[in-house]
């Protein structure tokens, strides 16, 4: 072989080897990408904080700011977004408006976006506390800010790897509904006897035991850049809130404290976008506030900061042992579900009108006038309400998005029956439709079951919602 022919052959073979290596490298390159972002959604002074039952008045000051925190994941075939908002609750139509903005600006499919509220009680309830124009202006700004969080997270997409795990937070949680001896519970606001639950406003001297179990698990989704730098952490805790506020002061509660402490511990100076920590509310509709771990008298907001720090520290410890993978499959399913509304009958409306016509009269319960007004408001509701149930698959992790303030029994049942190795649920997802007691808890009565704008779905709503969530999880397990 002549030197010239040998040289040409050598160059051809070398080129073939290099191109083959490039193809292999491309095939092995991880396709999973992730991006996160946080957008300030703090309301201005004067915006309403009023709730359906509790009347918290307008914003008078800001202790700590509120954020919409978004995480976007993309595996090359599917793109999903999870947006956790420091708000008490948000009606579905406002989340739908935010999703529509994202869709119009980026093409992101609306049914690929999960939006939820943390349920801090020191933030607006949208629009349940609405008083006037200032609230409407904030709501209009809010939906744009929530959308912007998702848009920015999508713009920050980078190759990533994901791991998940959990730690036991049971010592911080307790059921706030107590089973009491039959006949021992005071009359409900409607003047009716028969409740067997001592709860937020039911009284009894004969308590037997907590009416339901807790969910002790704090679930963690950890997202890192390929170089190991933390990108985002999504926690999920089934505890109602922390509390310990000053009236009128805005706060993201322990959810915001958790995010701040994670960011402080994981802050690094590099070319990556800022780390984003977020904590979603699990199934905590019947769980009380974060239990203090000592006998100290904490100042306003002090236990919020301390409990958030403790949860953040335990999260970081758990993450040390997680296996982060860059090649996980993503999927999401969504289903619309139409449920009946427990509107008041003729007798209940007549009772309400009598109560409201004589505001000075003595009533069976200190909240009778409140529930009389709620009966009138509930009578204006449509006969049915359409809600969204979502299920997400990230490798062998399942995430469920449920509207309502969901009881722990529902979350625990979904975890037990899920086909995935790990599963957790987010409540108040994609809307807010009141409390969601199980059918058994409805029979026991108590604050969370009394018909009002805070609890109005049909008695069998929990069964239908839970079964739908499990069906979607099964469909994702293929």
* 432 within 8 A of 461, measured Cβ to Cβ: no
33-40, strands of its sheet edge to edge? 113-117, 79-85, 67-74, 33-40, 158-168, 217-225, 230-237, 276-281
Maximum Cα interatomic distance, the chain, rounded to a whole number of Å: 114
| Whole-angstrom distance, CA of residue 381 vs CA of residue 342 | 9
Which of 170, 414, 391 lies closest to 283 in space, CA to CA? Answer: 414
Do the beta carbons of residue 149 and residue 68 sit within 8 Å? yes
Which residue is it, tokens 């994941």? 73
CA–CA gap between residue 69 and residue 146 (Å, rounded): 8
Helices (H) and strands (E) in the chain, counts: 10, 21
For the chain, the residue count is: 478
In whole angstroms, what is the distance from residue 227 CA to residue 230 CA?
9
Contact 259, 235 (CB under 8 A): no
DSSP 321-362: T---BS---EEEEEEEEEEEB----HHHHHHHHHHHH-TTS-
Instruction: Quote the strand ranges of 7-66, DSSP E.
Output: 33-40, 61-62
Q: Compute CA distances 238 → 142, 168, 188, 284, 314, whole Å.
A: 26, 11, 27, 5, 16
Reply yes or no: is the peptide bond before residue 326 cis, omega within 30 of 0: no
Are 252 and 65 within 8 A, CB to CB?
Answer: yes
Strands 276-281 and 249-250: unpaired
Q: Which residues contact 228 (CB under 8 A, 6 or more apart)?
A: none
Distance CA(237)–CA(359), nearest Å, equals 41
Q: Which residues are annotated as a binding site for Zn(2+)?
A: 119, 240
Is the Cβ–Cβ distance between 421 and 373 less than 8 Å?
A: no
Nearest to 396 by CA among 245, 221, 213: 221
**Binding annotation:** 119, 240
């Amino acid at each position: 072989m002549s030197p010239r022919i040998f040289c040409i052959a050598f160059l051809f073979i070398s080129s073939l080897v290099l191109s083959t290596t490039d193809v292999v490298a491309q095939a092995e390159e991880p396709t999973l990408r992730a991006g996160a972002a946080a957008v300030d959604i703090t309301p201005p002074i004067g915006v309403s904080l009023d709730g359906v039952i509790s009347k918290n008045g307008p914003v008078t000051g800001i202790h700590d700011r509120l954020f919409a925190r978004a995480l976007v994941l993309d595996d090359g075939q599917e793109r999903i977004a999870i947006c956790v908002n420091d708000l008490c609750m948000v009606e579905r139509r406002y989340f739908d408006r935010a999703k529509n903005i994202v869709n119009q600006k980026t093409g992101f499919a609306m049914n690929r976006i999960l939006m939820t509220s943390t349920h801090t009680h020191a933030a607006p309830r949208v629009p349940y506390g609405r008083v006037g124009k200032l609230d409407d202006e904030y709501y209009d700004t809010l939906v744009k800010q929530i959308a912007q969080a998702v848009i920015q997270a999508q713009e920050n997409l980078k190759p990533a790897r994901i791991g998940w795990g959990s730690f036991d937070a049971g010592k911080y949680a307790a059921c706030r509904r107590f089973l009491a001896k039959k006949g021992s519970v005071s009359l409900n606001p409607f003047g009716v006897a028969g409740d067997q639950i001592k709860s937020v406003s039911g009284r009894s001297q004969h308590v037997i035991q907590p009416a339901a179990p807790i969910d002790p698990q704090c679930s963690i989704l950890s997202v890192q850049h390929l170089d190991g730098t933390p990108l985002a952490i999504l926690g999920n805790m089934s505890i109602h809130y922390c509390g310990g506020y000053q009236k009128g002061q805005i706060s993201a509660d322990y959810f915001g404290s958790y995010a701040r402490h994670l960011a402080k511990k994981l802050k690094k100076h590099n070319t990556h976008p800022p780390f984003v920590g977020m904590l979603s509310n699990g199934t905590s509709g019947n769980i009380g506030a974060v239990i203090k771990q000592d006998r100290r008298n904490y100042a306003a907001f002090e236990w919020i900061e301390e409990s958030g720090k403790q949860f953040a520290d335990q999260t970081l410890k758990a993450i040390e042992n997680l296996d982060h993978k860059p090649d996980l499959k993503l999927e999401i399913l969504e289903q619309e579900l139409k449920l009946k509304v427990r509107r008041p009958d003729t007798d209940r409306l007549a009772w309400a009108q009598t109560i409201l016509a004589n505001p000075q009269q003595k009533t069976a319960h200190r909240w009778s006038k409140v529930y009389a007004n709620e009966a009138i408001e509930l009578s204006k509701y449509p006969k049915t309400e359409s809600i969204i149930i979502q299920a997400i698959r990230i490798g062998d992790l399942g995430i469920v998005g449920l509207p309502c303030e969901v009881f722990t029994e529902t979350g625990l049942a979904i975890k037990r029956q899920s086909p995935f190795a790990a599963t957790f649920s987010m409540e108040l997802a994609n809307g807010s439709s009141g409390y969601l007691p199980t059918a058994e808890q409805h029979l026991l009565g108590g604050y969370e079951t009394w018909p009002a704008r805070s609890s109005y779905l049909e008695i069998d709503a929990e069964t239908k919602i839970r079964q739908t969530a499990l069906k979607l999880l099964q469909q994702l397990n293929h």
